[in-house]
Amino acid sequence: MRILWIEDFGDVPKPEAHVLAIFKDLLGENILDQWDSDKIKLKRKPQGLLQFCQQYSVDIEAILCRDYHDFKAIADNDTVLQDIDVILIDINLSAGVDPAKPIPAGYQHEKGGFYIYNTLIHEGFPDSHICFLTGEKISSLISFEQQCEQIFMPKKPLSFEKTDSEFARLRVWLNDKRTDAYLTLRRGILNVLDEIEGNANIDLTEPFKKEVPVNKETFLEGLRFMLSSHRMPSEDKRQHLYRTLCDYLTKYFDRFSGRDLYRGKYKKDGFEIGVLKEYSIPLYFVRNWVAHNILNNPKSEFLAQDVGFLFTLVIKGMFDYSSIERFKLLYSYPVVNDSDLQTCLIDLQNRHYSYSGQCEIFELIRLKGERNWNRNLSTEDFVAQMYASFLFCCVELKARTKVKPFTDNMARREGSGYWVNLTYRIDSQGDNLFESLKSIAYHRLKDRNF
C-alpha cells in the first residue's frame, strides 16, 4: 500500500512516537523489533519511515509532504499521484513554511488541509481513501463540513484526532485498506509494472519475440492505463474490469498451438523452442474462452485472487519474472502436499475429464469450451478449469520398470516391441514459483467447490 502523508509536525512534540502511533500495526512487531535493534530513529525526519520500509521490504510505502508546496510538486506529477492508494491530511500546515514561495489566492496555511482535500476531490481521487488528522478537536471540522453540504457533497470527510484512542481507529481503517482484495490486486500489478519498466534486464521471452513481436512498452502502458482510476468499482463493474483485464493479459497467447503446447513446445516457421507449459497452457485456454465469449456466465466470475493468479502466469510466461510475492495478502493458504494434490487430481479426472473418446487431459479441458461438444457452457466454471489445467501440468507419465513383450499376434500387426506400464507422477521439478502457485490453485478449486 502506498500512502501519501501530508503533515507539518507543528503540534507534534515527538515525531517518532507520532509515526509509530499511526504505522505500528502495518509495520508489525517483528519489524519494530528490527527498528529498535538497529536504533533507527527519525529525529524529526519522518521520511526515514520510507527508507526503513524499503530496507526491510515492508509492503507499505509512505511519502511525506510537509506543506502545500511539497504537495503541489506531487500533484503536478500525474504518475506519482496515480500510484497513491491512501492519503492522510493534517489540517494546519503552517509550521516551517517558506513565506517567499507563492500560494494560491485565498489559500491559508492554517487551513491548508482543506484546500488540498478539495483539490484531490476535484482531480477525481475518491473521498473514501482520504482522511483528516487534526491536533484540534473534531469540532474544528464543523464549518468545513457545512461548506461541503452547501456544495452538495453528501458525505462528510473522514477525520481522526491525534489521540491514542483515535490513532487506534485510524490503524483499523488503514489495515482495512491494506487488506482490501481489489486494492491489493491493483497495487500489486502497478508495482510489478514499475519493476519491469525499471529493470532493463527483464525482457520478453522468445515466443513473444517471434512471428508478430509484442511491443513491450505498449503492453505495459496499456495495462497501467486500465488501472489508472483510484475509484473502487462496484461489484458489477469490477467483474467487467476483471474480465477485460483477462482479455488484455492473454491476447498474445493465441500464438501457440494447443497440440505443441501440451508437449511444452512452440513451433513456428521452421523453428522450435521449449516453453514452460504450466505458465502458458492455462492462458492459452483462457484466451480461447474469452475470444469465444463463454467466460461471461455466472459460474465463471473472477475474484481478485483469480486475476492475481492469472497475472502472475502472464508475467512469468511473457517475461520469465516471478511476481507472486506482490499479491501475498490475497493468499493465506497452507502448503498442499503431493498426497492431497494427487487425491484432488484423481477426483478431478473422475468427475470432469473421464471421456472414452479422448485421453489427452488438456484436450479434454479445451473441449469444455467448445459449443458443439459441451452442452453445459452456461453452467461451466471456466475459472476453475484454468486452475485445473495448471495443476495437471505437474503430472507426468512415467514408464514403470517391468515390461513384457507383445504377444505374437500383436507383434505381427505392430512390429516388434514391448508393452510398457505407465503411471502418473507429480513432478514440479523444484520450481519455487510453481510450488507457490500449486497450493493456491489447489485451494482456489476447493473454494469454488469444483
Mean pLDDT to the nearest integer, 31-36: 58
What's residue 91's pLDDT? 86
Confidence of residue 416 (pLDDT cuts 50, 70, 90): low
Q: What is the pLDDT of residues 327-339, one digit of tens each?
A: 999 999 999 998 8
Mean pLDDT to the nearest integer, 19-26: 81
Q: What is the pLDDT of residues 66-83, one digit of tens each?
A: 899 989 888 887 677 778
pTM of the model: 0.85
For the chain, what are the domain ranges?
2-179, 181-447
Mean pLDDT to the nearest integer, 354-366: 77
Tell how far CA 82 is from the center of its chain.
16
**The most confident of 91-95, 156-160, 399-403, by mean pLDDT:** 91-95
Does the pLDDT at position 141 exceed 50?
yes
Decide which of 55 and 240 is more confident. Answer: 240
Q: Which of 42-46, 239-243, 320-324, 418-422 has the lowest mean pLDDT?
A: 42-46
Decide which of 297 and 52 is more confident. Answer: 297
Confidence of residue 96 (pLDDT cuts 50, 70, 90): confident
Confidence of residue 411 (pLDDT cuts 50, 70, 90): very low
Decide which of 109 and 136 is more confident. Answer: 109
Provide, rounded to the nearest whole percent, the portion of the chain with pLDDT above 90: 38
Does the pLDDT at position 51 exceed 50?
yes
Does the pLDDT at position 223 exceed 90?
yes
Does the pLDDT at position 421 exceed 80?
no
What's residue 42's pLDDT? 41
What's residue 317's pLDDT? 95
Mean pLDDT to the nearest integer, 221-246: 90
Phi and psi torsions of 258, nearest 5°: -55, -50
Across the chain, mean pLDDT equals: 83
Confidence of residue 43 (pLDDT cuts 50, 70, 90): very low
Decide which of 6 and 235 is more confident. Answer: 6
Class of domain 2-179: alpha beta
What's residue 139's pLDDT? 59
**The most confident of 12-21, 360-369, 434-443, by mean pLDDT:** 434-443
Mean pLDDT to the nearest integer, 213-233: 91
Mean pLDDT to the nearest integer, 237-248: 94
What's residue 41's pLDDT? 47
Confidence of residue 154 (pLDDT cuts 50, 70, 90): low
What's residue 218's pLDDT? 96
Provide, rounded to the nearest whole percent, the portion of the chain with pLDDT above 70: 80
Mean pLDDT to the nearest integer, 151-180: 84
Decide which of 422 and 298 is more confident. Answer: 298
What's residue 133's pLDDT? 85
What's residue 81's pLDDT? 77
Does the pLDDT at position 295 exceed 60?
yes
